[in-house]
Amino acid sequence: MIERLKDIFKGLESAHGITFKTQEIRHDGKNEVRVKTIREPVTNELWEKHLKGEEPGLGIIPINEDNKCQWGAIDIDTYPFDHLKLIKKIREKHLPLIVFRSKSGGAHIYCFVKGFVAASLMRQKLQLMASALGYAKAEIFPKQSKIMAEKGDVGNFLNMPYHGGDRTVKYAIDDEGNSLTIENFIKLYDEYVLEVSQFKDLFINKKQEKIKEEFPDGPPCLNTIIKNGPIIEGNGDVAASGRDNGLFNIGVYVKKSNPIGWEDKLEDYNTEKYIKPPLKSTDIQRILKQLDKKDYDYKCKDKPICNFCDERLCYTKQYGKGGDVRMPAITAIRKYESDPPIFFVDIDEETVEVDAPTLHDHEKFSIECMTELGMPLIPVAKLVWRKQLASLMKNMATIEAPDDTKKDIQLKELLTTFISRDGKSMEDVLKRKPYTQNGVSYFKFKDFWAYVIKQKTWSEKKYPKNKTIRLLEDLFNAKTDVVKITVGKEEKSVKVWTVEKIEVEKYIPKRIEKKPAAFE
């Protein structure tokens, strides 16, 4: 069973994700959770603990080191959610998808392939299916088409189903809405898993390509909606804001495609084929006046069209958003826990690597995007940028970094190497060398600092002299002392730093407790 699940959900081999509860309590009384990426292989033992329900839960990264994947998912984060209604829509459209209940009650919609395909192709197909189902804004996994593996990036993981085995709340659902055991899920998987050739042929249908569009060369959202039937008042999947919004967007298309005589053309669309029931004459006149005042664009963020958006395709259409310049969308941030930390930011399907100051400053970040990806960003106000960062960082995953990227390990290596350059007597301290006697090493800080700077591995900007001294005190119990050193016939009092050499050799980083501020 474990081997089969491991094979079905195969992804990145060198790392996996974990989700664990914290001691923090949310407003609904539940524990806050944190996510972390561990740079260790996915093993049978991890799957075994996951199926037993042990914490933390297991997450798999779908994209592998070759930027390929054999499964992907659409993550619908909506509660409460009607899973059976979604499944019926999937089957009506003959889509090869399996629906799972997520832990929070939403849905993870999986597509499985028997071999590995390009992650970019998986994202493209899943986005088409999400748009067809009316969930164009849902998250798509894999989140990236490529990962910067050579720089330590591993992409985003998705929490695996069946945490707790058959007693889980994260299970697959059959066509009647029933929860499935692991064994029955595998049977359903065997029914819907695709051959690579079948997957590549999804949405490539020459007969369908010849079907006349209701809105030729118009936005895909309107064509998708009308293909499924008229815009109906109160249908949550189509038009929560009503027929009025629907006809307004049709009016935008009509005005773009028929600059002369568009007013009469719009009234032709106010029929039960498009709007059910048709709007009253007074409503038509109001929409006509609105559109006549200026050249409005589509209400892409509003229903009914937002759920069926295919933004990239829309910008290629003559009467879509093609007149504008499409700006890339920032979709996720991952923190690589080196010291100082590095951030991997996903923009559309690309990834840019930046440091904290660059990410914090929108102008600097835009320059980095332009340099690395050829994607400069439109300027935004500081407040807007900070809010966007706060939103993205709320669910930001962290990636473990190798020990030699941590400040305590780096400082340990610098200190031990410096001390190993031992002098023969205390007089050598005046010659810029350390001296060890009775297990205690003596040195002048300015000499150690000069050595540190010369190595060019220490972040002097982030950890200047005063901070480095504090780290020596906290991590190695370094102390100041005054020693007497004889030079010729003269005895000098010299201020030195001391470190017990044995503690450095048997180094175990100490946890630095944060001291509360006076007001805490």
What's the one-letter identity of residue 245? N
pLDDT at 449: 95
Question: 441 has which bridge partners?
Answer: 436, 499
Q: Which of 186, 206, 226 is the last residue of a domain?
A: 206
CA dihedral 38, 41, 42, 45 (to 10 degrees): -100
| In a domain? residue 309 | yes
Task: Quote the pLDDT of residue 440.
Answer: 92
Residues 234 and 300 in one domain: yes
Residue 490 lies in a domain: yes
DSSP code for 458: S
Instruction: Report residue 76: phi and psi, to 5°.
Output: -100, 115
State the pLDDT at residue 203.
79
Could you give the count of Cα atoms lying within 13 Å of 196 in the half-sphere of its Cβ?
8
CB 429 within 8 A of CB 373: no
What letter would DSSP give residue 345? E
**Same domain (yes/no): 11, 128:** yes
Question: Residue 350: which residues within 8 A CB-CB, separation 6 or more?
Answer: 144, 145, 146, 328, 373, 375
The DSSP secondary-structure symbol of 172 reads: B
Burial 87-96 (b: 16+ CB within 10 A, else e): beebeeeebb
Are 112 and 171 in a shared domain?
yes
Q: Does 520 fall in a domain?
A: no
In a domain, 324, yes or no: no
Q: What is the pLDDT of residue 322?
A: 62
Its pTM surpasses 0.75: no
Whether residues 247 and 348 share a domain: the answer is no
Q: Decide if 392 is inside a domain.
A: yes
**Cβ-based neighbour number of residue 479 at 10 Å:** 13
Q: Where are the beta strands (DSSP E) in 119-238?
A: 139-141, 158-159, 231-232
**31-38: strand order across its sheet:** 158-159, 57-60, 16-25, 31-38, 397-399, 330-336, 342-347, 350-355
Task: Say what the pLDDT of residue 324 is.
Answer: 58
| Per-residue pLDDT tens listing for the chain (520 residues) | 899 999 999 999 999 999 877 666 555 555 577 889 999 999 999 999 999 999 999 999 999 999 999 999 999 988 789 999 999 999 999 999 999 999 889 999 999 999 999 999 999 999 999 988 989 889 999 999 999 888 889 999 999 999 999 999 999 999 999 999 999 999 999 999 999 999 999 976 544 444 578 898 889 899 888 888 888 865 444 433 578 889 999 999 999 988 888 988 888 899 989 998 889 989 899 999 999 888 888 888 888 888 888 887 888 888 888 655 667 888 889 999 887 889 999 998 889 999 999 999 999 999 999 999 888 888 889 999 999 999 999 888 899 887 767 788 888 889 999 998 889 999 999 999 999 998 899 999 999 999 999 988 888 888 899 999 999 998 899 999 999 998 878 889 999 999 986 444 444 444 444 444 333 3
Same domain, 421 and 279: no
pLDDT at 40: 92
Q: Are residues 156 and 29 in the same domain?
A: yes
The span from the CA of 37 to the CA of 29, in Å, is 26
Determine contact, residues 303/309, Cβ cutoff 8 Å: no
Query: Which segments of 420-476 does DSSP mark as H helices, in order?
Result: 445-455, 465-476
In a domain, 131, yes or no: yes
Residue 155 lies in a domain: yes
- Tell which of 344, 377, 399 closes a domain: 399
DSSP string, 381-410: -HHHHHHHHHHHHHT-EEE---GGGSHHHH
Other C-beta atoms closer than 10 Å to the C-beta of 289 total 9
Domain that holds residue 281: 215-314
Q: How far is CA 315 from CA 170, 171, 310, 325, 405, in A?
A: 38, 38, 9, 8, 43
Q: How far is CA 491 from each of CA 412, 427, 444, 453, 455, rounded to the nearest angstrom?
A: 33, 11, 17, 31, 33
Give the tokens for residue 432: 């810029």
Tens digits of per-residue pLDDT, 408-448? 888 888 999 999 888 999 999 999 999 999 889 999 999 99
Same domain, 276 and 339: no
Residue 468 has φ and ψ, to the nearest 5°, of -65, -40
Of 289, 314, 339, which residue sits at a domain end?
314
Whether 159 and 261 share a structural domain:
no
Please, is 24 exposed, middle or buried when counting C-beta atoms within 10 Å of its C-beta (0-12, 13-18, 19+)?
exposed
How far apart are the C-alpha atoms of 192 and 188, rounded to whole Å? Answer: 6
Closest CA to 142 of 107, 110, 186, 98: 110
Q: What is the CATH number of the domain that holds 138?
A: 3.90.920
Q: Are residues 195 and 228 in the same domain?
A: no
Please count the structural domains in the chain. 4
264 with 363, same domain: the answer is: no
Picking from 429, 514, 414, 411, the residue whose alpha carbon sits closest to that of residue 468 is 411
Instruction: Please name every residue paired with 344 in a beta bridge, in sequence order, or none if there are none.
Output: 334, 353
Are 18 and 57 in contact, with CB atoms under 8 Å apart? Answer: yes
| Model pLDDT, residue 129 | 94
178 in a structural domain: yes
- Starting at the earlier edge strand, list the strands of the sheet with 68-76: 98-101, 107-118, 68-76, 139-141
For 497-508, the DSSP string reads EEEEHHHHHT--
- Give the pLDDT score at 206: 42
| Same-domain status, 154 and 71 | yes
> Is residue 62 within 8 Å of 69, Cβ to Cβ?
yes
209: exposed, middle or buried (C-beta count within 10 Å: 0-12, 13-18, 19+)?
exposed
435-437: strand order across its sheet: 435-437, 440-443, 490-500, 479-487
Q: Identify whether residues 22 and 104 lie together within a single domain.
A: yes
* Residue 133, amino acid: L
What pLDDT is stored for residue 447 in this prediction? 95
SS3 sequence of 255-310: HHHCCCCHHHHHHHCCCCCCEECCCCHHHHHHHHHHHHHCCCCCCCCCCCCHHHCC
Q: Return the structure tokens found at 117.
A: 């395909």
